[in-house]
Amino acid sequence: MTKSHIAIMTSGGDVPGLNAAIRAAVRAASFYQYKIIGIEKGYEGLIDEAFLPLHSGSVSNIISKGGTILQSSRSERFKEEKFRQIAYQNLKKHNIEHLILIGGDGSMRGAQVLAKESGINVIGIPKTIDNDITGTDFSIGFDTATNIAMEAIDRIRDTATSHHRLFFVEVMGRNAGYIALEAGIATGAEGIIIPETNRDLQLLYDTIEQKKNWKNSSYIVVVAEGDEIGGAYRLEKTIQQKYPNIYTGVSILGHIQRGGSPTCRDRNLATKLGIASIEAVNSELKNVMAGVIHENIQYTPLENIGSRKLKIDDNIIKNLKILSK
């Protein structure tokens, strides 16, 4: 009996590690003797029938590359049923019964709708630098983005020290503070402002009061872009009004966190999840996302996938107070 075909695509924002996941999935498909087809530009390519056959040679030497060889997009058209029907007909035309989707929680929601309407089996692979998707402890791209932020903050510390200045460094993360918290602790930041708690601004005030004599030669505050304060520039203005004698600066790291070669951890995570996605197909699992929980592969139904919030407990707040001394 001829095996049905598998398609693979990346959807939403790019992150480091996408190519490692594609490579692993393609080679696993070859191992299990499936024909695999790449879909370019995410859901847009699904609608426009931007399909290309993939094989082991297609993914040689891409494990270290940033971005995605399949390209990606955010599709407004896919929200309309008529375009989803076109997408389904394109999959049917190529004898595709299984779709490997590498995306975040928004892309997974789109996949749920496609699976329900068409009967296509969708296997998800989580990717987002925000690390805010349920069903996995870590998503592809988070470790690299955090390391990029850490390195950038270390460099900014040199400038802050040279000029005796307080720097506000804004990192990405949408409405989640994972990058800010991890990078802030790793760089010894004197302040970390994240959307999951409203106690961090008072903690920052307390720290500044303790160091009013400004014996420190530098001062770094890491700000998550989604914090309710409104970002690094607004926070700088607030601090300037309260402490006019402190010299300040702002650095917005932005999309630099999403590019470049993935870290060892992200490459290995992407490889593990890429293989797991094909093994889900081979095991006849339906409409699940492959994740890693407590270092083990686990499959979660797509209907249970959504966004998650960083849990801030009193121990984290206590540790930040200890480190700010």
Express each pLDDT in 246-268 by its tens digit.
Answer: 889 999 999 999 999 999 999 99
Q: Residue 289: CA atoms inside 13 Å, Cβ hemisphere, count? A: 31
Residue 199 or 222, more confident: 222
Question: What's residue 67's pLDDT?
Answer: 95
pLDDT tens digit sequence for 93-108:
999 999 999 999 999 9
pLDDT tens digit sequence for 261-299:
999 999 999 999 999 999 999 999 999 999 999 999 999
- Domain ranges for the chain, please list them: 5-141+262-304, 142-258
Burial class (CB in 10 A: 0-12, 13-18, 19+), 312: middle
Residue 198 or 121, more confident: 121
Cα separation values, 224 from 159, 180, 233, 260, Å: 21, 5, 12, 21
Q: Give the residue ranges of DSSP H helices in 49-199.
A: 81-93, 105-118, 142-162, 178-186
Residues 6+ apart with CB under 8 A from 241: none
- Whether the per-residue pLDDT at 204 is higher than 50: the answer is yes
Pick the CATH number of 5-141+262-304 from 3.40.50.450, 3.30.910.20, 2.30.42.10, 3.40.50.970: 3.40.50.450
Least confident of 116-120, 203-207, 230-234: 203-207
- Whether the per-residue pLDDT at 200 is higher than 90: the answer is no
Mean pLDDT of the chain: 91
Model-level pTM?
0.92
Question: What's residue 215's pLDDT?
Answer: 57
| Share of residues in the chain with pLDDT > 90 (%) | 74
Q: Distance (Å, rounded) from C-alpha 200 to C-alpha 181?
A: 11
- What is the set of active-site residues? 130
Architecture of domain 142-258: 3-Layer(aba) Sandwich (3.40)
Q: Residue 219: CA atoms inside 13 Å, Cβ hemisphere, count? A: 24
Domains 5-141+262-304 and 142-258 share a fold: yes
